[in-house]
Each structure stands twice: as C-alpha cells, then as structure tokens.
Structure 1
C-alpha cells in the first residue's frame, strides 16, 4: 500500500496534541496547498496538530501535482469508484497519525477542498466517529443514479459537518452544495453550510473564519487558552 506523507505543524501550545486536523487537498495540488490554513487556525486551536498529506497518485492533468483518484469525466461511476479505491490508503494514514500522537478516533477532524472534500466525506462517514468534517468547494459522492439515502447501511459515523461553497464556482457548480447538504441530512448527518458570495473555486476569508470557529466548537479541548 502507498504510504502518504506531507507537511505537519505541531501544537502551538508546545504541549502534547489533544486533537488532529488533517487537510485533504484538491485535484492537481499537493499537501503544501492547504497547510497554511493550519497556521491561520493555530490561535483558535493551540492544542491541535495539523498534517496535510500529499495524495497517493501523480496527477495526469497537472504534472507537478497529485490526485486522490483520476478524473476524466469519461468513465461512468468515476468519482464513486475513485473514493472507494482511495479510502484504504487514506484510512491507513489517518490511523497511523492518530497512533503516533496517542489520540483516539474522536480527536480527528478532516478538512477537504474540492476532490479532498469528496474524500473527507466518504472516508469520514465510514470511520469510527470523527470530531468534525469540513468540506470546501466539494461534493458528497454517491453511487451513480442513486439517492444519498442508498448509502445508509454503510455510513457508520455521523459527525458534525460544515460545507462551504462559492456561488461563482465554475469547477464544481454551486448546486453541489445543496445536493450535498440534503444528502447528508437524509443520512442523519448534522450539517451546516455557507454560500460564499462572489467566490469561485476557492476559499475566502469568511470561509476560513467559519471553518476555524466550527473546529473550535467541536474538537476536544480546542478552545484557546486565556
């Protein structure tokens, strides 16, 4: 099995980590793309460790980037097959990081962007209960021609989820936000959402602020010390 690695940030407090935030980057990027969000959130989450692994495969559409799975839009069920194929290597990495830090499964938060959001939702809902999931500019992947409720039997965790999407996104249409919100609700997953006005396929300041505040509410021992 491919071993993942990527940039890490130790807790700003200098103490042992009490939670782990894992960033999952988008198609054609790598772990360096999101790790700066961890630096932005360290004031809110002083006891959190952060890691942003590089996805397991070279990206055909971006020679210097990585992908969690191929995207050609020519193969039926491509996204569904992709998230299923990539989940074991991601889960192995998450388990190893939690073990390395001596943390339980419920101390984990997953933060995805675009294709990374697809992975965060797919894996996070099928792990032992994580603390939280945040998805930026992404999508809940479902089997082709099936409603999200069809996945009910395989969903083993229902952590709080925050979804953020730009209303001018031309990569993953803004309509994906409500599809995902409604799909998660049908699965019994508590979900909050925010549409970022005037934002394309990216994360603006409001999205960053909302994400940090969401994790501060849900991660164990996350509140900043006085």
Structure 2
C-alpha cells in the first residue's frame, strides 16, 4: 500500500471514518490530493486516503483500473469485472490497516474510479465493502442490475462533461430508482469533466448527512 497516499489520519480512533478516493484513467493518487485535503479539513476524524490503481495506463501516462483502448459498451463490463478483485482487495487492506469497518467506509471515485465504485454496489453482499459510494463524473459499466444492499449512492456530474456525458449519471439514477434504491444526483451547470468547489461542498454535505443518520 506504499503507492497510496495517506492525506489524513484521524485525531482519535473513536468513531473514525474511512474515506477512500479512486482516481480516473491516466491519473494518479496525487491528482486527487487537493480534493482529499479539502475533505479532510471538514472530516477531522476520518482517514482520508487516495488510492492508486495497480496497473500503468496504456494511454502513456498515469495509472488505470482497466484499459480504455478499444473499449465498447459490449466489452466494458468484462474489463471492469476483471479489475474488481484488485479494487476490493485495496478496500479490505485499508479497512484492516485502519481498523475501520465497512459501515464507516465511503468510496469516492472520479471517472474510471467512479465506475469501479458504482459497480462494487452490484456485487452480492455489497455492504460488506462500504456503506456509501460517491461517484463523480461516473457511470455504471452496464445498466444497474440489483438494488444495492444497504449502500447509499450519490452521483455528482458536470452538465458540460463531454468525456462522460451527464446523461449517463441520469441513467444510473433512474436505474437505481427503478430497482427500489434512493440515490441522489447533483448536476453542476457549466462544469466539464472535473471537480470544482461546488462538488467539494456537495460531498461535504453528503458526508455530514452520514453522521446525522448515525446520531454522531
């Protein structure tokens, strides 16, 4: 886990949270450091860790969970499924290292990292991995098939995203609702394939809601 970036350790182990950040293709753990640091300032009792995917990107720079060379709607699900064991292993490793269980774990992914986080909710026993998924500029690899088991899903997307069009997040929200889930979708006018202060604020509000639900 030396390749991952620990951005904050909690002040106390009591009621500690684990916030795992997952970057996009061709990116790195360091690229999500500004977001992680902004969230750490709001969540003083959280482990905030930016996770680096295990494989070098075949785009020529950075890292990837799965290749996007020649990716299609037909082959994307298989590529995500092949990458999922390593993704879950990284989650379990940090839960073991920090002593924070799934019920206090949030997976926050951007772009390809968001795809991996969202698809983890489609696994049997998804709540064994995390209690909350926050997907920025993401999508499902294929239409959602099952209602996530005790996992809250929050979608955040720029309306001017030309890499991952906002309609994909809208479709994800619709699919989850049709399965009986209650996801949220925040759309940001003028935002492309990226993160701005409004996104950070929305994430902070969502994380605050978690503690209010728990009565903390």
TM-score w.r.t. length of structure 2: 0.89
Which SS does the other structure have where 1:216 is aligned? Answer: helix
2:172 aligns with 180
CA distance in 1, matches of 2:168, 2:52: 25
Which SS does the other structure have where 2:61 is aligned? Answer: strand
Q: 1:169 to 1:76 in 2, by over 3 A?
A: closer
1:15 aligns with 12
CA distance in 1, matches of 2:3, 2:149: 25
How far has the Cα of 1:16 moved from its partner? 2.2
1:100 aligns with 97
Q: 1:162 to 1:56 in 2, by over 3 A?
A: same
Which residues of 2 match residues 69-148 of structure 1 at below 5 A? 69-75=66-72, 77-126=74-123, 127=126, 128=128, 130-142=130-142, 147-148=143-144
Which SS does the other structure have where 2:202 is aligned? Answer: helix
TM-score w.r.t. length of structure 1: 0.85
Instruction: Structure 1: give runs of 5+ residues left out of the alignment.
Output: none
Larger relative contact order (CA 8 Å, sep ≥ 6): 1
CA distance in 1, matches of 2:195, 2:148: 29
- After TM superposition, the runs of 4+ consecutive aligned structure 1 residues lying more than 4 A away are 219-224
1:24 aligns with 22
How far has the Cα of 1:101 moved from its partner? 1.1
8 Å CA contact 2:155, 2:184 repeated in 1: yes
2:58 aligns with 60
Which one is further off, 168-177 or 35-44?
35-44
Q: 1:75 to 1:192 in 2, by over 3 A?
A: closer
**Cα RMSD (Å):** 2.3
8 Å CA contact 1:216, 1:223 repeated in 2: no
1:169 aligns with 161
Which SS does the other structure have where 1:163 is aligned? Answer: strand
CA distance in 2, matches of 1:70, 1:186: 30
